[in-house]
Amino acid sequence: MPVHDRVKHHAANHPDLTAVDIEGNTLSWQQLWQRAQVLYQQLMSSTSENRTVAIAIGNDITFPVAWLAATAQPFTAAIIDPQVPVEQRDDMLHRLAPDLLLLKAED
C-alpha cells in the first residue's frame, strides 16, 4: 500500500493517534492528512506543467505535511537541506527550476 494510502487509512481508522512528533510538536493522523490535502490543493492551483516542488524546511513539524502533499501525483518533490551554503542552494534551485519552493514561515 503506497504511503499516501496508508496515511489516509490511519486518518480514517485512528484519527486521534499521534502520527508525527518533532521536538514535542505533534500532529495526529487526521491533522496530517487534512493539512496535506489542503496544501495539495494549493499546489495544484499554483504550479505549471513542470510540477516540481522544492522543499527546504528541515526538521520541522511542517515538513511531513509538505512532503506528503508534494510527493502525491502529479508532483515531483526535491528535498533541499536548508543548512547548505547559500551558493550551493542557489545552484540546486537553478538546476532544478522548481515551480515552487516551500520554506518554514520564519524563512
Read off the pLDDT of residues 2-59 as tens digits, 9 standing for 90 and up.
Answer: 899 999 999 999 999 999 999 999 999 999 999 999 999 999 988 677 789 999 999 9
pTM over 0.95: no
Q: What is the largest CA-CA distance in the chain?
A: 45
User: Could you give phi then psi for residue 8, rounded to 5 degrees?
Assistant: -60, -45
- pLDDT for 105 equals 75
